[in-house]
Amino acid sequence: MDDYKEIFLAEANEYMQLLNDCLMNMEENPQDAESLQEIFRLVHSLKGMAGTMGFDLLKQVAHDLENFMEQFKGNEHLLNSEIVDFFFESVDVFQGLLIDPENPGENERETAQLYLEKISSYWQEVLEEVPAETETETGAPSSEGETTGETTAERTAGEEEAVSAGDEMPAGESGVESEGEFEGEPAVDKREEPVGEPAAEGMPAAAGDGEEEIPCADDGEETAEDLTIELSEIEKEILNSAECRGEQGYVVKVVLLEGAMMKSVRSYMVIRALEQFGEIVTAAPSLQDLDEEKFDQAFKVLVVSSFLEPAKVKEAILNIAEVQQVEITLWQDEVAQRQEAPQEAADTSDGVAQAEPAAAQDAAGDEKAPSDADKAVPEQSCRQQPDKKQTSSASVPKVQEKMVRVETSKLDDLINLIGEMVIMRNSVMEKGTGLSEELDQSLDQMDRVITELQNVSMQLRMVPIKQVFERFPRMMRDICRDRGKEVELSISGEDTELDRSIINQLSDPLVHILRNAVDHGIEDVQERESKGKSRIGHISLRAFHESNHVVLTVEDDGKGMDPEKIKKAALEKGVADEEELSRMDEDEIINLLFRSGFSTAPEITDVSGRGVGMDAVKKAVESMRGSIEIKSEVGKGSMFILRFPLTLAIIKALMVRAGGYIFAIPIESIRENVLLQPHQIKTIQKEWVVNMRGEVFSLYDLGKLLNFAPMDEEKDEYNVVVIETGQKKAGFLVDELLGQQEVVIKSLGNFLKDMKGITGATVLGDGRVTLIIDVLGLLEDRRVEVG
C-alpha cells in the first residue's frame, strides 16, 4: 500500500495547488460559479481518495466541507470573501493532515476538529440565509448533509458527479492527467476505456477475435455481461494440464461498488487474495487492463485449483473494501452457459447493469450513441449523462495521452545513460573515423542520431518554472494578511523552462526574497500614501531567457535600500571595515547584504529574520551554479536578479593542461584567452599581476593553485585564461590550451561534495576522469589563503 500512499500524496498535493488556484480566483470574484464547481470537484475527489486509503479524518473534513459547499450551488450570491477565507483555511487543514495522513499529529488533529466544528456552526448560519425555495430545489443534499451518514455520503457523491461533470475538465493539465489514474469515478474509466482502447486501435466494435477480448466491445447490445474469458493457446494448455492433475478451473466474478475509488488497487488485492487459493490463469479484462483500471465495476478471474471452497474465497474477497459481490462458478459451467445463452449471464447487480450499457454505447465510438443511450438507460444512470457527453468530445483522451507520469529516478537514469553514450560516441568516433568509407558514413549517421538524442534528453530535464511560481500567490496573500500590508504580486514568464534540479531547489531562496520584499521593501499603506505612491504595493516576479541563462527577477516598488544605512550596519556588525567600504561603489555596498552576519531588519518578525539571512540565499543560489545581485534605488524599490545556467547537465568547457593534468574550465566564466610575454607580468607583493588594456588583475599558476606541480621552466610566452565571474577577474596561467568541448557534468558524490574549487567531473572520450574547475570557489579560497 505504500506505493499507493505515495501516489495519493502526489495527487493530493496537486489538488492542494489547484484548490489554491481556484480560491485565488474566487477571492477576486467570490461568486464565480466555475471556480466553485472546480473546488467542489477537487474536494469531492479528495474525499474519495482519502476514503479509499482509509484516512478517516481527512475524509471527514473533505466530506463536511463538500456538503457545506453544496449549499452554495445555485446560490453563489451568498458567497463572500469571508466564506472564501474559510475555504482557504481548509487548504491549510488539508495540508496539515497530509503531512502524515495515516496518523496525523496532535496539532493537525486539533486543527481539523476545530475546522469541523466551524463548518457545522457556519452551516447553521448559512442555512438560515438560504431562501426557502432554493432549499427545496436542492433539498436532498442539504437535508442529507446534516445526518452525515455513510450511506448518504455515497449517495450525494453520485449526485455531485453529475454536477461537477458540467465543468469536467479542470484548467490545469495535471488535473486531467491525475484523474485517469486515481479517481475511480465511473465517469473517468468510461472515458478512458472505450475511447482509449477500441477507438485508438481502430478495431471494429465487435471484437472477439483477439486473444483476450476487450470488455465492453460487445457493441451496444443490452448485455451487461460481456466479461467473456477467452483463452489463449497457452492458457488452454494450462487449463488442460490442470484438469489432468485433477484440478479444476473456477471463474471468480467480482463486482465492485459503483463509484469505487482506485479500482486497480482493489482488483490487485482480489488477485493477490485469489493467489492463495490457486493459480491465476487469466482474467477478463486482462490483468494488464485491470492494473490500468480499464474496467467498469466487474471483472472475472479464472483460477485453477484442486479444490476451491467457495465460502472461504468469498469471505476473503468480500473482506476487501469496496467489493460488492463475489460469484464463483466452475469453468465448465461458465463455458456451457455461454454457449447456451450468452445474454442470460447478465448480472443481477445494479451497479453493473446500469454502468455497462452506457459504457458499451460509448464503446461503439458513435458520436450520436450517447444521447440515444441516455434515453434508453434507467433513470438512475442519468446522473452520468454529462460525463458521457464529455467522452464523445474526443478532446479528453488526447489530453490524457499527452502526459505520462514517470518516476524521476527513471528519467535521471535515462539521461545519465544518454550522457554515457555521448561520451562513448566520442571515443568510437575517434577510433573509427578514417578506417573505411562505409564505416565513416555509419559513424556520421550515428553521430547525428546521438546528437539529436542528447538534445531530446536535455529537454526531458527541463520543466516550466510555473511549478515554483504557482505557490507564491497564496503565500503572498498570507504574508500580506499577516503583516497588514497590501501587495499585488504579478508573475510573468512562468512557462520559462529550467533544469529540473534547479527548479527543485529554487523555491526556498525565492520565498525568502519575496518575504523580505514584503517585510522590508513594501511600506505600510499610510506611509505609501504619504509618499504619493499607490496604496497597494507591487511586487513583480519575472522569469526570462538571456543568452545562455535563465534570469529571475523579484522587483518591488517599496522603499529601496539606503547604501548609507547599509554601510553603517556593515561597520557595526563588523561585516566590512572602513577601508574596504571606502573602495566600494553603491552597488557593491548594497550587495554587502549577502555577507554572512548581515541583517538589516530592526525587528525579528514572524516571516523574515528567522536566522536565515541573505547569505543563505546566496549560498543556495550559488550551489545551483547561479548568481544573485541586488539593484536598488532609495524610495523607488529594489530588484533581486538571479541568473541560472540553462542546464546543469552539459556545459561547454575549455580544456586546459595545468600541473600535469587536464582540467575543464566552464566557458561561461571565461572572458578571453591571451598570450603574455614574461615582461608583461609584474610582481606586486609577491603576486603576479598584469595590466591589460588599463585593467589590473592578478595572475595565478593554475597548477600551483590546485596544489599540483607548478609551472617550472621559464617560457617565452604564457598561455593565460582570463576569468571573469561575478565581480571577480583574474588570469590563470596554464601549460596548454586543448580546445573547447561539451562536457557532461558528473557529481563527485557525497564524499567529495564540499571540495573547494572543483564543481564536478566529467569523463573524456578515452574514459579518463577530468575535473571541472569552480572558478569562483577557487578564487575565494585563494583569498582565504592570502588573507
Interacting residues toward another protein by CB under 8 A? 416, 419-420, 423, 659, 661, 706-708, 746-752, 754-758, 760-761, 763, 767-771, 784-785
Catalytic residue among 20, 27, 44, 555, which?
A: 44
153-160: long-range pairs with CB below 8 Å, 24+: 153/63, 154/259, 156/66, 156/67, 156/70, 157/44, 157/47, 157/48, 157/259, 158/258, 158/259, 158/383, 159/383, 160/40, 160/41, 160/44, 160/66, 160/70
| Strand runs labelled E in 579-705 | 627-633, 637-645, 650-658, 661-666, 670-676, 681-684, 687-692, 695-701
CB 703 within 8 A of CB 659: yes
The least distance separating another protein from the CB of residue 749, rounded to whole angstroms, comes to 5
The span from the CA of 332 to the CA of 657, in Å, is: 79
Q: For residue 111, count other CB atoms closer than 10 A to its CB.
A: 18
Nearer to another protein, 526 or 707 (CB): 707
Distance in angstroms (rounded) separating the CA atoms of residues 787 and 783? 6
Q: How far is the CB of 760 from another protein (least distance, A)?
A: 8
User: Phi and psi at residue 296, in whole multiples of 5°?
Assistant: -90, -130
Helix 173-182 to helix 33-53 angle (10° resolution) is: 30
Measured from the CB of residue 669, what is the shortest distance to another protein in angstroms? 17
Q: How far is the CB of 429 from another protein (least distance, A)?
A: 18
Q: In terms of CB distance, is 196 or 419 closer to another protein?
A: 419
Nearer to another protein, 602 or 767 (CB): 767
Under 8 Å CB-to-CB from 554, ≥6 apart: which residues? 510, 513, 514, 517, 539, 540, 541, 639, 640
Closer to another protein at the Cβ: 419 or 537? 419
> Which lies closer to another protein via its Cβ, residue 118 or residue 746?
746
**Helical H segments across 624-743, by residue range:** 702-705
Helices 408-432, 437-461: crossing angle, 10 deg rounding: 160
| C-alpha cell recorded at residue 434 | 578514417
Contact 519, 539 (CB under 8 A): no
Calculate the CA 236 to chain-centre distance.
45
Judged by beta carbon, residue 665 or residue 771, the one nearer another protein is: 771
In whole angstroms, give the CA distance from residue 563 to residue 692.
Answer: 31
Cell numbers 593553485 correspond to 705
What are the backbone angles phi and psi of residue 454, rounded to the nearest 5°?
-65, -40
CB-nearer residue toward another protein: 268 or 708: 708
Query: Hey, how many other C-beta atoms are within 10 angstroms of the C-beta on 219?
Result: 16
Minimum distance from residue 659 beta carbon to another protein (Å): 8
Q: In the annotation, is 108 catalytic?
A: no
Q: What span, in angstroms and rounded, lies between the C-alpha atoms of 13 and 16? A: 5
Residue 416 or 501 with smaller CB distance to another protein: 416
Q: Which residues of 529-559 are buried (b: 16+ CB within 10 A; e: fewer)?
A: eeeebeeebbbbbbbeeeeebbbbbbbbbbb
Q: Which residue has the cell 547537465?
A: 649
* Backbone angles phi and psi of 276, in degrees to 5: -75, -20
CB of 707 to another protein, least distance (A): 5
CB of 644 to another protein, least distance (A): 23
Active-site annotation holder among 20, 426, 516, 591: 516
Q: Using CA atoms, how far apart are residues 510 and 626, in angstroms rounded to an integer?
A: 13
Terminal Cα-to-Cα distance of the chain (whole angstroms): 58
Task: Identify the residue whose cell numbers are 464463483.
Answer: 328
Closer Cβ to another protein, 195 or 763, answer by number: 763
Residue in the block written with cell 509618499 = 531
CB of 597 to another protein, least distance (A): 21
Q: Name the minimum Å distance from CB 55 to another protein.
A: 30
Which residue, 456 or 752, has its beta carbon nearer to another protein?
752
Q: What angle do CA 769, 775, 781 make, to 5 degrees?
A: 105
For another protein, the closer CB: 526 or 750: 750
CB of 773 to another protein, least distance (A): 9
Give the relative orientation of helices 263-275 and 310-318 as an angle to the nearest 10 degrees: 150
Shortest Å, Cβ 686 to another protein: 11
Residue 66 is among the residues annotated as catalytic for this protein: yes
Question: Most distant CA pair in the chain: distance in Å?
Answer: 105
> Please, what is the minimum distance in Å from the beta carbon of residue 406 to another protein?
21
Q: Give the rounded distance of the alpha carbon of 588 from its chain centre.
A: 38
Residue 617 vs 778, nearer CB to another protein: 778
Among candidate residues 11, 66, 292, 356, the one labeled active-site is 66
44 is catalytic: yes
Residues designated as active site: 44, 66, 516
